[in-house]
Amino acid sequence: MKPDVKLAPSILAADFTRLGQEISEAEAAGAHLLHIDIMDGCFVPNISFGALMIDACRKASGLYRDVHLMIEKPERYTNDFVEAGANNLTIHAEATNHVHRVLEQIKEHGVDTGLAVNPVTPLSYVKEALPYLDKVLIMTVNPGFGGQKFIETCLDRVKEVARWREKTGLEFDIQVDGGIDETTIERVIQAGANNLVAGSAIFGQSAGITERFQLLNSLALQASEG
Ligand code: DX5
Ligand code: ZN
């Protein structure tokens, strides 16, 4: 069965002075989940926010909180993030020597697991972990900043993981993150992604959150039906 297409607004691009309203607007527009980017200034060259932000999102809406951990040794903080309200923890394959152990740790907390890989990290890092995953995140930019250009060579990576999903019958989501907008969204879906993160294409645009969400969502639906 073809997995449902889900669009995940990334709050990294939101106006933090009006975060509650912006999240409510995204929810009312039909957002399926909320993408929360935690950055430590070490795994990536930027610092964003920590567990308090997950808790704030929980207070602002009932949307599923999809937490993307761009931090070294995520095993140190899984408990804190789950307590703060994460529904999913996506770790980076490059950020720990103990991917399997951390995935088990996340499962023990009763939340969903995700494994992310940077644009040229070998996909074999993910392949071995597939039975333990609810989500594979194929980064389509180098993580750390919003508003970057989509890296075209990542499309073939999405296709490869989609073939694995087909072959194994496993039901993990294939998420893409970085540079997703109206010029790229159809192609990532055609390649096999079903879970799409978009930050600067939804927030901070003059058209407004509702209009931008609906445009991307309708393109996504058309591409998944086509
Ligand atoms: C980048 C983050 C993304 C970011 C995407 O490292 O993981 O989630 O918010 O931003 P856009 O959609 O603007 O590329
Ligand atoms: Zn992200």
Kindly state whether residue 1 falls inside one of the protein's structural domains: no
Is residue 3 very low, low, confident or very high in pLDDT (cuts 50, 70, 90)?
A: confident
pTM for this predicted structure: 0.98
Please check the confidence at residue 30 and state whether its pLDDT lies above 90: yes
Domain span holding position 104: 6-225
Contact residues for 42 (Cβ-Cβ < 8 A; gap 6+): 71, 72
Helix then strand then coil, % of the chain, to nearest 5: 40, 20, 40
Based on the structure, what is the number of domains in the chain?
1
Whether 15 is in a domain gets the answer yes
Structure tokens at 138: 């194929």
Question: Any residues with Cβ below 6 Å from ligand 1, and which?
Answer: 10, 12-13, 35, 37, 68, 141, 143-148, 177-180, 197-201
On whether residue 157 sits in a domain, the answer given is yes
pLDDT of residue 2: 75
CATH number at residue 104: 3.20.20.70
Query: Tokens 């209009």 correspond to what residue?
Result: 211
- How much of the chain exceeds pLDDT 70, in percent? 100
Rounded Cα–Cα distance for residues 192 and 60 (Å): 32
Residue among 11, 66, 148, 151 whose CB has most ligand 1 atoms within 8 A, to mutate: 148
Q: Does residue 182 belong to any structural domain of this protein?
A: yes
The pLDDT tens digits of the residues spanning 162-205 come to 999 999 999 999 999 999 999 999 999 999 999 999 999 999 99
Tell me the per-residue pLDDT of 85-130, one tens digit each, with 9 for 90 and over. 999 999 999 999 999 999 999 999 999 999 999 999 999 999 999 9
Ion ligand 2: residues, CB within 5 A, are: 37, 68, 177
pLDDT of res. 48: 98
pLDDT in tens, 123-151: 999 999 999 999 999 999 999 999 999 99
Whether residue 47 lies inside any domain: the answer is yes
With CA atoms as reference, report the closest residue to 9 among 202, 206, 174, 224.
202
Please state, rounded to an integer, the average pLDDT across all residues of the chain. Answer: 97
> What's the pLDDT band for 1 if we cut at 50, 70, 90?
low
CA dihedral sign of residues 115, 155, 215, 21: positive
> Which ligand ends up closest to the CA of 39?
1
pLDDT for residue 97:
97
Cα distance between residue 76 and residue 46, in whole Å: 19
Determine the Cα–Cα distance for residues 182 and 185; give it in Å rounded to an integer. 6
Catalytic residues: 37, 177
Q: Is the CA virtual torsion 124, 125, 130, 135 positive or negative?
A: negative
Strands 112-117 and 6-9: unpaired
Which 3 state secondary structure label does DSSP give 18? Answer: helix
| 25 inside domain | yes
